[in-house]
Amino acid sequence: MGRDEPHDVAIIGAGPVGLVAAALLGRAGVDVVVVERYPDPFGLPRAIRMDHEAMRIWQELGIAEELLADALPVVRYEWFGADGEPIVAFDMPPAPSGWVFSYTFFQPELEAALERLIDRLPTVQMRRGVACTGVVEHDDHIVIELAPFDVAANAPDLSAAAEELQARYLIGADGARSTVRGLLGIPANDAGFGERWFVIDLLPRDADVAARLPDFPMQFCEPGRPHMMAPNGRRHRRWEFMLIENEDAADYERPDHIWGLLSPWLAPDEATIVRGAVYEFRAAVAESFQAGRRCFLVGDAAHRMPPHLGEGMCSGLRDAKALAWRLELVLRGSAGTSLLDSYSSERLPHAQALVDQSLAMGKVSCERDPMAAAQRDRALRAAGGVEPWPFPALGPGLGHADDGISPSLVGQLSVQGSVESAGRSGRFDDVVGRGFSLILDDGGPDELSPAARAAFESIGGRVAALGANVSDTDGALTGWLRAHGAAAVVVRPDFYVFGAVARVADVPALVDDLLAQVHATAATNPQTIRKTQENHVHH
């Protein structure tokens, strides 16, 4: 098999992050091929919590309402101490993205919704049952080597004939043990953290049993065996138990052992086990999310974190969004190639910050030393709560350096408010549209020359003058701008702030800077990549 024209983008891995990258690019009409080694969707849950930013992506993909049939807004999160009594209750803070701060969900339903969406996208081709085994970078395209995947051996069949696929860009979305990362020669910095946890998902027998179980996440910070329980969506329930030192993972496959662990909550006839598995939680971040000019890493292939914050998949979704809009503009010829370089420089520090926060969170909640745990419990009870960690901003990349706003809004997540425009009302992205938006407080004027406005529109820019062409019905956008002393802000397609200005007179400079940065062309990168898995037989 083969075709003369390279695909625009090849995505290796159809986990949630690869699927989202494919859906975003496919909806933009980009020609995408997705390569997944397993013949069928995985079908079992890993992630259970998603945040408001993920919801804004589902909104864009048109599946938010469908997911809300089962996804459950999280109203609180409680920790219980070494004595089994409450130590702290986290109320969920308001969220900027136009959705509740976080939700629990059942991952197979998300992946099924994404698969259905991708099925309907004519420019996305799904190749299942083949694994990526080699990558060769040429000046204007990448050659990707594929081999049939032997499910029984859980390895590519390297004795079979290799198939070659060509693409202009390659996205490695192939998970924590990423073959693509290895082939690209990108080292990952491992934090040296390793814990084994037993993860079990249950379907309660009926509504009465389900109603007896808490509908919000609970962390049991018992030094003898830290564990947690949470709803994963409206119907399912998740427990996670830390394995202690030399415990044998095989014991956790025995039903009597499983039901022994669950006995405080449920009897065996009250629920069906959907799956139980021992996972090793690790923390690692790739040294770069890019290699050469044309290859990128997203999701767990780029960063891996223990699930204490529920941000692993969410971070991957941010990667997919950040890369998809850049690739779309570059492939369309509306942006210069250096736009792609800011993907790694922005996303890496952001993901690293969340890896660090996840580790810090786990260190506190999973304290194994009884004395230290008792001290933690006393301190948290005395404090009466915990200040939420500041959410990280993007690393350096595409941003308007001097915006006259302090503290700077550059690289911060924007606010999505409810608005009304041209007879439509609803969330900003649905009403005004997606892409770059220049949002002006107090009706403008925007001071843009016709040429600057046309150039802004040519990269997908829209102007929303609050109080003029757009009414800020819930006051969220006006409140946000005024809290920062901003007369105008430019929000990027990935919802992060490019820049803000305190004076309307500075809007043209802000937009000019955006256009200059988007159009910049990268210097040719001398690095080329030629890697194939060893022992691959070429025919």
Ligand X SMILES: Cc1cc2nc3c(=O)[nH]c(=O)nc-3n(C[C@H](O)[C@H](O)[C@H](O)COP(=O)(O)OP(=O)(O)OC[C@H]3O[C@@H](n4cnc5c(N)ncnc54)[C@H](O)[C@@H]3O)c2cc1C
Q: Write down the least CB distance from residue 275 to ligand X, Å.
A: 11
For 218, the 3-state DSSP assignment is strand
Inter-residue contact 295 to 142 (CB < 8 Å) = yes
Q: Write down the least CB distance from residue 294 to ligand X, Å.
A: 18
Residue closer to ligand X by CB (options 71, 487) is 71
Q: At what angle do helices 341-365 and 312-332 cross, to 10 degrees?
A: 180
Structure tokens at 42: 């995985």
Residue closer to ligand X by CB (options 37, 492) is 37
Q: Distance between CA atoms of 157 and 155, rounded to whole angstroms?
A: 6
Residue closer to ligand X by CB (options 306, 417) is 306
Q: Write down the least CB distance from residue 497 to ligand X, Å.
A: 23
Report phi then psi at 24, rounded to 5: -65, -45
Structure tokens at 170: 């390659």
Residue closer to ligand X by CB (options 177, 378) is 177
Residue closer to ligand X by CB (options 98, 316) is 316
* Burial class (CB within 10 angstroms; exposed 0-12, middle 13-18, buried 19+) of 45: buried
| Long-range CB contacts (within 8 A, 24+) of 188-192 | 188/284, 188/285, 188/286, 188/287, 188/304, 189/284, 189/285, 189/286, 189/287, 190/282, 190/283, 190/284, 191/282, 191/283, 191/284, 191/355, 191/359
* Burial class (CB within 10 angstroms; exposed 0-12, middle 13-18, buried 19+) of 146: buried
| Interface with ligand X (CB under 6 A) | 12-18, 35-38, 42, 46-50, 131-132, 173-175, 179, 199, 279, 299-300, 307, 310-314, 316
User: For residue 296, how far is the Cα from the chain centroid?
Assistant: 15
DSSP 508-535: HHHHHHHHHHHH--PPPP----EEE-TT
Q: Write down the least CB distance from residue 488 to ligand X, Å.
A: 33
Q: Write down the least CB distance from residue 205 to ligand X, Å.
A: 24
Residue type, 378: R
Q: Write down the least CB distance from residue 538 to ligand X, Å.
A: 17
Residue closer to ligand X by CB (options 81, 134) is 134
Q: Which residues pair with 280 in a beta bridge?
A: 196
Q: Distance between CA atoms of 172 and 163, rounded to whole angstroms?
A: 18
- Residue 183 half-sphere exposure, CB side, CA atoms within 13 Å? 30
Q: Write down the least CB distance from residue 355 to ligand X, Å.
A: 11
Residue closer to ligand X by CB (options 290, 517) is 290
| Long-range CB contacts (within 8 A, 24+) of 73-76 | 73/100, 73/102, 73/103, 74/49, 74/100, 74/101, 74/102, 74/103, 74/104, 74/216, 74/217, 75/216, 76/216
Residue closer to ligand X by CB (options 281, 428) is 281
Residue closer to ligand X by CB (options 15, 460) is 15
Residue type, 60: E
**Parallel, antiparallel, or unpaired: how do β-strands 218-220 and 227-232 relate?**
antiparallel
Please name which of 521, 289, 517, 300 lies closest in space to residue 410, comparing C-alpha atoms. 517
Q: Write down the least CB distance from residue 499 to ligand X, Å.
A: 29
Inter-residue contact 261 to 203 (CB < 8 Å) = no
Please name which of 152, 156, 50 lies closest in space to residue 111, comparing C-alpha atoms. 50
